[in-house]
Amino acid sequence: MANKGSSPPWALHWRSNTFFILATVAVGLFTDLFLYGLVVPVLPFMLRERLAIPEEEIQSYVAGLLAAYAGASVLFALAAGWVADRTNARQAPFLSGLAALLVATVMLAFGQSIALIIVVRVLQGISAAVVWTIGLAMVQDTVGPGNLGKVIGSIFSFISMGELMAPVLGGVLYEKTGYAGIFGVASGILGLDFLMRLLIIEKRTAAKYLPQQNGETNRRERGARDEEGDRTASEADPLLPRNDGDPYKIRDEPGKLVRALPILVCFRNPRLIVGLALAFVQASLVAVFDTTIPTEAEELFRFSSLKAGLLFITTNVPYLVLGPVAGWAVDRYGTKPAAVIGFAYLVPTLVLLRLPSDRLLDGSRNVILYSAILALNGVGLAIIGSPSVVEVSDVVQKYDKANPEFFGKNGPYAQLYGFNSVFFNLGLTIGPLVAGALRDSIGYGNMNLTFAVNAKIKGYV
């Protein structure tokens, strides 16, 4: 029923439109990845030129700064999910994450010490925890579980443009305009993100004023719980109907910890743990490329920040093209085929990355070889992009459906994506540290061989 005595918010229809909500989440994720990637190709040069870090320490500092970002996300993701599932609207915490990102961007523009740059990366990590946890929960609220793979694949494809554009643009701006150009572009992106987050009206809020939109209200209730409840019983039905949700039924009294964080009960299901492990490995592989491409390009080819940034195009274009297709395939055929095929495919493509460092070809031909192999790896990263999110969402949706009152009116989805963010960012934390240490100790080729073995193991799992 609509709120009596209150007027609908301005432009309610388009501000609560499904496309606008998804676009707002996509822009939020885009902003996070864009500002993250904008600095990646510049970090080695910033450390050397602005902070006077010795050349032999550059790789370890780069890895440490990337790990600081991800480590902060790990620490704050669960808190963001817990808060979001206990508030009437997700918009307020969604906006708060942007405040941390704004402060971090200003500090990065003027920071002149390594301690300040570390604080910046921590603030950026806090913002990422909020936007990924609450953003994915808003997607689940809006579209429900049935189309999650396709929507996630499409959003990831769009935000891959941020990963694609940011390192290239960061390299260009740093070389042509210095830090001023980089932070001018960052400010413009932040302004657009803030405006969209401010305007958004969630479905559950819009439903108070538009009761006729029953088919467009909280998809959790319609898709996850009521699909079997609306059917009229017939004489052919058994007296005690079969409940397909029985394996997910919570029968014992939860303890204090589970009552405080209800999502913990879902960890009884090994599918949830495997899905989160997929997120960890996926992020570790992404971190390998972010950590080592700039330094490897500089060492192998004497590339500037601009040219090092251009190399990221080769890994992100396949993601841009194949992301929606991979997401559709996950919705159609399930998560396991995509995960098995994707990780198995990445084994040989990661091993091939040792060829450029072996200098089998000379000059520009070696650059072309490196770019081609990076593109092949981009295809694999696109395939493994959505299985993790869809798998864990399916498990938790089944628990939510079997236990309608246990998780509260908002469900456990922000908590779920908080855990997903924890595992993903653990991968982003550990990946750079391991990649940097392995590259320095056993070389770039053997480092990629190690990660290829890890991908092969995950493909079997």
Q: Is residue 212 part of a domain?
A: no
Rounded Cα–Cα distance for residues 375 and 318 (Å): 7
Angle between helices 387-402 and 413-442 (to 10 degrees): 150
Residue listed under structure tokens 């694999």: 380
Q: Could you give the number of structural domains in the chain?
A: 1
Q: Is residue 257 part of a domain?
A: no
Averages of pLDDT over each 10 residues, the chain, 461 residues: 63 87 89 77 76 80 78 83 78 82 80 83 86 85 74 77 70 75 82 88 80 49 40 39 62 81 89 90 82 82 77 80 83 86 90 81 84 91 86 89 81 86 81 80 80 66 53
Largest CA distance in the chain: 81
| Per-residue model confidence (pLDDT) at position 460 | 53
Rounded Cα–Cα distance for residues 313 and 5 (Å): 54
CATH assignment of the domain containing 20: 1.20.1250.20
SS3 382: helix
CB 325 within 8 Å of CB 420: no
Q: Is residue 5 part of a domain?
A: no
Q: Is residue 232 part of a domain?
A: no
| Per-residue model confidence (pLDDT) at position 363 | 74
* Element (DSSP H or E) covering residue 109: helix 91-110
Task: Give the domain range for residue 135.
Answer: 12-206+265-460
Q: Which amino acid is at 416?
A: L
CB 223 within 8 Å of CB 144: yes
Q: Is residue 288 part of a domain?
A: yes
Rounded Cα–Cα distance for residues 122 and 429 (Å): 12
| Per-residue model confidence (pLDDT) at position 237 | 38
56 Cα distance to chain centroid: 32
* Element (DSSP H or E) covering residue 276: helix 270-301
Instruction: List the one residue out of 39, 119, 7 whose CA is nearest residue 290.
Output: 39
Rounded Cα–Cα distance for residues 163 and 286 (Å): 11
| Per-residue model confidence (pLDDT) at position 435 | 81
Q: Is residue 360 part of a domain?
A: yes
For residue 232, the 8-state DSSP code is P
Q: Which amino acid is at 312?
A: F
Q: Is residue 410 part of a domain?
A: yes
Count CA atoms closer than 13 A to 423's CA, side-chain side: 19
Residue listed under structure tokens 């080769």: 314
Other beta carbons less than 10 A from residue 6's beta carbon: 9
| Per-residue model confidence (pLDDT) at position 214 | 45
Q: Is residue 33 part of a domain?
A: yes
| Per-residue model confidence (pLDDT) at position 2 | 47
| Per-residue model confidence (pLDDT) at position 345 | 92
pTM of structure: 0.73
